[in-house]
């Protein structure tokens, strides 16, 4: 029997003796993998060990001939329940979407599928309904906590008597710019966005699939004074009407990598804002 991801030994897997689940004295042992273990799966008579940023497999029949081989680096799973065998391959949820370990003997044969997975946090809805009230569409939902909530109203989470900020995150796919073998030295990002009010967000560039061995640059602050006052709400003589800040923000960036992703987080209570697109300026470097 194999065990992994224990709280007291997160970076290793342990195995019991043959044909027993709890004998750790005879024929048992431990294998260290150097990363946090997040899942185990038997596939084609081999044990696959999924970590946060790496994938290994164990071959052999006993402690005397167990061998550990690296299947993929810079990619792992964030949800052990997502590891499933489908059509002769292993599918799993990584940090940037659903991927598959191709069912071959080639080391490093990991492909990304053309769809992704998202998890909505904060709403635990038992029932939901909508109707027009005074010509305004109103959506309400019932929670398992016994309260009724009004959707699309306000800029914060209001649960009973508590109020929390809305945590929002955008992350692009990991982009190789058409050639994963060329290092890209990033110089600037041009962000096309549309704020509805004041903005206080953080922008990150993540290189090489956010590899812990790759230097990752510090966050870049995104701020805006808003898009101007709206008619009927602004005060004449003091409020500014019109577009407000420029819709395109240009920021100098640093760092380099073979793949890059853009991540933006906002944990404030300001008005919402939208991302229309972005452009990355870089200089191609050497080939690995």
Reported as a pLDDT band with limits 50, 70 and 90, residue 121 is low
Res 288: pLDDT: 64
We report the CATH number of the domain holding residue 231 as 2.60.120
- pLDDT of residue 287 exceeding 80: no
Residues 69 and 87 in one domain: yes
Rounded CA separation 211/215 (Å): 8
Residues 133 and 99 in one domain: no
Reported as a pLDDT band with limits 50, 70 and 90, residue 273 is confident
Distant-in-sequence, close-in-space partners of 48: CB < 8 Å, separation ≥ 6:
40, 41, 42, 55, 56, 57, 71, 83, 90, 101
Whether 97 maps to a domain, the answer reads yes
Count how many domains the chain has. Answer: 3
Residues 199 and 93 in one domain: no
Whether 119 maps to a domain, the answer reads no
Whether 253 maps to a domain, the answer reads yes
Question: What number is the average pLDDT over the span 207-213?
Answer: 90
Whether 77 maps to a domain, the answer reads yes
Res 118: pLDDT: 52
State the residue range of the domain holding 136: 125-164
Res 203: pLDDT: 93
pLDDT tens profile 50-63: 998 889 888 887 77
Where among 70, 90, 112 does a domain terminate? 112
Res 239: pLDDT: 64
> 135 exposed, middle or buried (CB, 10 Å; 0-12, 13-18, 19+)?
exposed
Residues 193 and 216 in one domain: yes
Residues 131 and 93 in one domain: no
Residues 20 and 90 in one domain: yes
Residues 197 and 256 in one domain: yes
Residues 146 and 222 in one domain: no
Residues 175 and 201 in one domain: yes
Res 104: pLDDT: 36
Whether 118 maps to a domain, the answer reads no
pLDDT tens profile 219-247: 999 887 665 666 666 677 766 655 555 57
């Amino acid at each position: 029997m194999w065990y992994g991801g224990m709280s007291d030994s997160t970076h290793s897997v342990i195995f019991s003796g043959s044909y027993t689940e709890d004998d750790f004295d005879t024929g048992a042992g431990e294998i260290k993998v150097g990363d946090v273990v997040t899942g185990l799966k038997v596939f084609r008579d081999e044990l696959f060990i999924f970590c946060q940023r790496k994938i290994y497999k164990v071959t052999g029949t006993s402690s005397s001939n167990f061998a550990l081989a690296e299947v993929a680096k810079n990619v792992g799973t964030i949800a052990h329940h997502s590891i499933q065998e489908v059509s002769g391959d292993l599918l799993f949820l990584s940090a940037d979407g659903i991927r598959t370990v191709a069912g071959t003997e080639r080391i490093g044969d990991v492909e990304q599928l053309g769809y992704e997975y998202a998890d909505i946090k904060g709403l635990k809805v038992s029932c939901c309904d909508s109707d027009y009230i005074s010509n305004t569409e109103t959506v309400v939902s019932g929670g398992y906590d016994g309260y009724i909530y009004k959707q699309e109203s306000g800029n914060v989470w209001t649960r009973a008597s508590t109020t929390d900020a809305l945590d929002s995150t955008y992350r692009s796919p990991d982009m190789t710019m058409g050639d994963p073998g060329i290092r890209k030295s990033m110089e600037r990002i041009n962000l096309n966005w549309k704020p509805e009010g004041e903005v206080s967000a953080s922008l990150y560039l993540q290189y090489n699939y956010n590899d812990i061995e790759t230097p990752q640059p510090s966050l870049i602050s995104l701020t805006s004074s808003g898009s101007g006052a709206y008619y009927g709400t602004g005060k004449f003589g003091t409020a500014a009407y019109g577009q407000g800040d420029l819709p395109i923000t240009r920021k100098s960036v640093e760092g380099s990598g073979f793949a890059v992703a853009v991540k933006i987080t906002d944990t404030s209570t300001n008005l919402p804002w939208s991302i229309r697109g972005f452009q990355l300026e870089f200089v191609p470097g050497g080939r690995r």
